[in-house]
Copies of this chain bind each other. A is one copy, B any other.
Amino acid sequence: MERTIVEEVIKKVGQKVKVCGWVHTRRDHGKIIFIDLRDRSGLLQVVFAPNFAPAHELANSLRSEYVVAIEGTVNARPEKMINEKIPTGKVELVGEALEILNEAKTPPFEIDSPQDAGEEIRLKYRYLDLRRQRMKNNTIMRHKIIKAVRDYFDHLGFLEIETPVLTKGTPEGAREFIVPARLWPGKFYVLPQSPQQFKQLLMVAGMEKYFQIARCFRDEDTRGDRQAEFTQIDVEMSFVSQEEIWQVVEALMIEVVEKLYPQKIISQKPFPRLTYAEAMAKYQSDKPDLRKDKKNADELAFCWVIDMPMFKYSAAEKKAVAVHHPFTMPNLEDMAKSPDEPLKWRAYGYDLALNGSEIWGGSIRIHRRDIQQKVFEILGVKQEEIERRFGHMLEAFSYGAPPHGGIAAGLDRIVSILQDEPNIREVIVFPKTGDNRDLMMAAPNIIGKKTMKEAHIELASDVENNETVEETATAD
């Protein structure tokens, strides 16, 4: 018999069906055994009574999280037995045949409990944590948000273009992960902090409207609610003004909220705009929380912060560094007015804040080789290093680079705010701990000596745990 998912059972009163799923709970009332069966679509009450003896007998051995297939007849429940709390509460299934597809040890925490287990144990057994309604819902809504973002950009004629993960370093301020190149002894790939250079090169290539849901990597020390790998909504456009970029993003955010979170209220449309100077003067923050009620998760206060500064003085580096990144276009009027005081220059740079979090940030980019060269000089990068690190960008700009600009969002943050979750780990299906461990997979881990040798590297002499292991080949 073909399987029926639980939420469809309610349409089949009086019919025979087969359902599959997990034993969510079990209750015995005298000789009658009730189970709530859970599948991806919901919960369904199943009744095993002695008149179907083999099924009833086997049902005695059912424990929480056993995997079962059950055949039986769908009955309407009597009025007083209706359970309004679940969508299938008007019916129950009479269990006539039962097959145990797999058994289950007692889980380390209760799937059914609203009480949270500790985060370490939840992450180690993420495959059990994800069975809980809250996590399943986060996973579903994340999928729907990303789908809505893709549909939106596709509809506007943007192309989603995949950019490399094994690439070269980018000058965006964070420490980067490195990958030894086996075929090129002594050389390394770098995992991208963002597709910044690629998306600008796509503009040079004439693609004009690019977006990507892109995996990005930052090897940061534990710093608040960050992840070593995270997901970015990445956008770049040619022949555009700041205004056009803002409008594309603003309409996207409104569409996502209205489509998927109709109960939420956007406090001001169009989104208010503050210059960086205004935001700092009025709110002492470049991502002010403009909600009337700061505890109201259903109030969404978006706010543009524009005219960001181009450079700032870094005490650590004892020189100017870019506030955003060195590909940002400085304000041309400021350059003309104060050519020798770059710390006074504003940039064509902007952020979008939501309820006090920065969710989008971007800028108009430099498309002229002379201005890009000037910015690198202000940053104190020597000509040899400019050529080595950015020569390919400068060269690309000399073959007809169009004026262009873009913006990018932290998708994990957006989902966590919309789902009213306290941190992004709750909306990442397989997150890492704050110190970059995957507790479920036990990664990072020691690797085989042969692997390290092939990568032309050795552990540094100060590494104490230098135990390495051999691995048996298991597949062709």
In the complex, the answer to whether A458 meets B458 with C-beta atoms within 8 Å is yes
Interface: A113 (CB within 8 A): no
In the complex, the answer to whether B445 meets A187 with C-beta atoms within 8 Å is yes
Interface: A226 (CB within 8 A): no
Q: List 21 A-B contacts (CB under 8 A).
A: A40-B209, A102-B367, A102-B368, A102-B402, A105-B398, A126-B201, A127-B204, A129-B205, A139-B161, A164-B432, A165-B165, A166-B217, A168-B442, A180-B457, A184-B436, A197-B441, A325-B474, A379-B472, A389-B471, A392-B440, A392-B442
- Residues of chain A in range 174-216 having any CB-CB distance to chain B below 8 Å: 175-191, 197-198, 201-202, 204-209, 215
Point out the residues of chain B lying under 8 angstroms from A22, CB to CB.
206, 400, 402
Q: How far is the CA of A176 from the CA of B475 in the complex (A)?
A: 13
Using a CB–CB distance below 8 Å, which chain A residues touch chain B? 3, 20-22, 38-40, 65-67, 69, 101-105, 107, 125-131, 136, 139-140, 143, 146-147, 150, 154, 159-169, 171-173, 175-191, 197-198, 201-202, 204-209, 215, 217, 219, 221, 228-229, 231, 238-239, 312, 314, 317, 321-326, 367-368, 376, 379-382, 385, 388-389, 392, 396-403, 428-430, 432, 435-438, 440-447, 451-467, 469, 471-476
Point out the residues of chain B lying under 8 angstroms from A446, CB to CB.
186-188
In the complex, the answer to whether B458 meets A461 with C-beta atoms within 8 Å is yes
Q: How far is the CA of A326 from the CA of B39 in the complex (A)?
A: 27
In the complex, the answer to whether B169 meets A447 with C-beta atoms within 8 Å is yes
Q: How far is the CA of A186 from the CA of B457 in the complex (A)?
A: 11
Number of copies: 2
In the complex, the answer to whether A65 meets B399 with C-beta atoms within 8 Å is yes
Shortest 7 CB-CB distances between A and B: which pairs? A104-B400, A181-B444, A130-B205, A187-B444, A173-B475, A65-B400, A168-B443
Given A205-B126, A472-B382; A399-B104 close (CB under 8 Å): yes
In the complex, the answer to whether B182 meets A130 with C-beta atoms within 8 Å is no
In the complex, the answer to whether A457 meets B460 with C-beta atoms within 8 Å is yes
In the complex, the answer to whether B208 meets A39 with C-beta atoms within 8 Å is yes
Q: From A188, which residue of chain B is reached at the shortest CB distance?
A: B447
Point out the residues of chain B lying under 8 angstroms from A435, CB to CB.
183
What would 5 more interface pairs be, CB under 8 Å, given A143-B160, A458-B460? A39-B206, A102-B368, A127-B399, A130-B205, A175-B182
In the complex, the answer to whether A166 meets B464 with C-beta atoms within 8 Å is no
Given A453-B460, A474-B322, A474-B326; A438-B167 close (CB under 8 Å): yes
In the complex, the answer to whether B159 meets A140 with C-beta atoms within 8 Å is yes
**Closest chain B CB from A318 CB (angstroms):** 10
Q: How far is the CA of A440 from the CA of B198 in the complex (A)?
A: 10
